[in-house]
Amino acid sequence: MKKTYIITKDVKVPFVVNSGQAHKPAQIRYKVFRKGKMVKGELKHSNNKPAFVLVGTMGVLPLNCVQEVTSTPIVSNFDDNSDEIEIKKETKQEPKVQYGDALIIGALLGLLAVYGAQKYNYLDAEEKKYKLYGAVVGGVLGLYYVYRKKNVVKNVKIVKSK
Number of domains in the chain: 2
Which of these three, 68, 87, 120, is where a domain ends? 68
The predicted model gives 21-37 an average pLDDT of 89
Dist CA 40 CA 161 (whole Å): 58
Confidence of residue 38 (pLDDT cuts 50, 70, 90): very high
State the pLDDT at residue 10: 93
Q: Given strand 66-68, what is the order of strands in its sheet?
A: 59-62, 49-55, 38-46, 2-7, 66-68
The predicted model gives 103-128 an average pLDDT of 92
Domain contains 113: yes
- pTM to 2 decimal places: 0.42
Residue, of 2 and 93, whose pLDDT is higher: 2
Q: Which domain holds residue 103?
A: 95-150
Which segment of 15-24, 135-144, 149-158 scores lowest on mean pLDDT?
Answer: 149-158
6 lies in the same domain as 64: yes
Average confidence score pLDDT of the chain: 84
Confidence of residue 108 (pLDDT cuts 50, 70, 90): very high
The predicted model gives 47-53 an average pLDDT of 91
Half-sphere exposure of 117 (CA within 13 A, CB side): 16
Domain contains 157: no
The predicted model gives 2-15 an average pLDDT of 91
Confidence of residue 129 (pLDDT cuts 50, 70, 90): very high
47 lies in the same domain as 6: yes
Which of these three, 28, 52, 68, is where a domain ends? 68
